[in-house]
Structure 1
Amino acid sequence: MITLNSISRDNFHDVINLSVFDEQKAYVASNVYSLAQAKAQPECVPLAVYNDSDLVGFVMYGMDFDDKEYWIGRIMIDSKYQQMGYGRAAMQCVLSILRQDPDHDKVYLSFEPENLTAKKLYEELGFVADGRVIDGEIVYCLHYRK
C-alpha cells in the first residue's frame, strides 16, 4: 500500500539517496535541491513515498506563491522501483490530499516535453495541456471539481 510520509531525521538520508536512471536526471531536480527549495519556500510540502515500509520515491506539492493555485512540483520514483505502478499511486495520493481543499478545484504541473512517460501518466490521470510553456516545460492542469 502506497503512503506519503513526512521527511524526518529518520528518513532524510534515504530520501536524498533515491535516484532515477541516468537518462531521466534531466527531467527531475535532485531530492537535495527539492528539500532545500522546501526550506526556502515553506509553501512546498515534500513527502516520502512508501510502499508499505519500503521507501520508493519522493513527491512535493504546494500552493504557488504567485498564482495561488496548487502545483505538483516533483514526483520521482527510485530507479529500482519504476514500472511497478508506484508513480501513479503516489500521484493519486497527492490528488486525494488536494481534493480535500474546498476552495480549490484544480492542480497544475509541468514537465519536460521529451518526458513521454510522464506525459502518458499525467494524461491517463486526466491532466490536459493548458497551452502554456514555462521555463521550457509544458504545463498541464487537472480540474477535479466542475
Structure 2
Amino acid sequence: MSVDLRPITRANFRDVIRLEVLPEQSTFVASNAVSIAETYLRPEAEPRAVYADDELVGFVLLDPGGRPGEPELVRLMIDHRFQGRGLGRRALEAAVDHAGREYAAQSVRLTFVPSNERARALYLSAGFEETGEVEYGETVMVRKLRS
C-alpha cells in the first residue's frame, strides 16, 4: 500500500475536514479545519491530505518557515477508522521525505503533547530525538536528514 501526500483542493476539502481522531486523542491535535485555517497566519505552510493508495486517510501540515533548513511538521493525524494499520508511520515518512525534497531540509522539527505517549513512541522509532526544548507546553523533537 502506497502512502502519499496530496494538496488540499475543492474536491477533497470537505472530506479532509471531516477526518477525526478518536475522542480520547482530541486534546493531542487540532482539528483539520483549524489547521487549514492556520495557513492564513502561516502562508508558507502546506496542508496536505494523506492518501493510502487512493483512499483519504489523514492530514499533515508542514511549515518550511521559521528555521532555515529545518521545516516543522506542525500536524499529523490519521482518521480513527484507519489507525492501527501503520499508516501514521508511512505518513510521517512521506512528510519527512517531502520536507527533504521540497525544502532541502537538513532536519525536520515537530512538537507533541507530552502525555501523548503513542506519538512519542512513533517519533522516537522513526529517528526523531527530543531536544530538551518545550514550546507552548509541547515537547520538541528533531530528526536529522543530512550530516
Structure 2 residue runs of 5 or longer lacking an equivalent are none
- The residue that corresponds to 1:46 in the other structure is 47
Q: How does 1:101-120 map to 2 (within 5 A)?
A: 103-120=104-121
- The residue that corresponds to 1:130 in the other structure is 131
Amino acid at match of 2:34: Y
- Residues of 1 paired with 2:37 and 2:111: CA distance? 20
Give the secondary-structure state (helix, strand or coil) at the position aligned to 1:40. Answer: coil
- Residues of 2 paired with 1:14 and 1:41: CA distance? 22
Q: Percent identity?
A: 39
- Residues of 1 paired with 2:52 and 2:117: CA distance? 24
- The residue that corresponds to 2:4 in the other structure is 3
Distance 1:58 1:101, change over 3 A: closer
- The residue that corresponds to 1:77 in the other structure is 78
CA RMSD across the alignment = 1.3
Q: CA deviation at 1:21?
A: 0.4
Amino acid at match of 2:89: R
Structure 1 residue runs of 5 or longer lacking an equivalent are none
Q: Report the TM-score, using the length of structure 1 for normalisation.
A: 0.94
- Residues of 2 paired with 1:44 and 1:141: CA distance? 18
Q: Report the TM-score, using the length of structure 2 for normalisation.
A: 0.94
- Encode CA deviations 1:72-106: one digit per residue, 9 max, x unaligned: 00000000000101110011111111222575311
Q: How does 1:61-100 map to 2 (within 5 A)?
A: 61-65=62-66, 67-68=67-68, 69-100=70-101
Give the secondary-structure state (helix, strand or coil) at the position aligned to 1:14. Answer: helix
Amino acid at match of 1:32: A
- Encode CA deviations 1:13-41: one digit per residue, 9 max, x unaligned: 00000000000000000101001111331
- The residue that corresponds to 1:18 in the other structure is 19
Where in structure 1 do 4 or more consecutive aligned residues deviate above 6 Å?
A: none
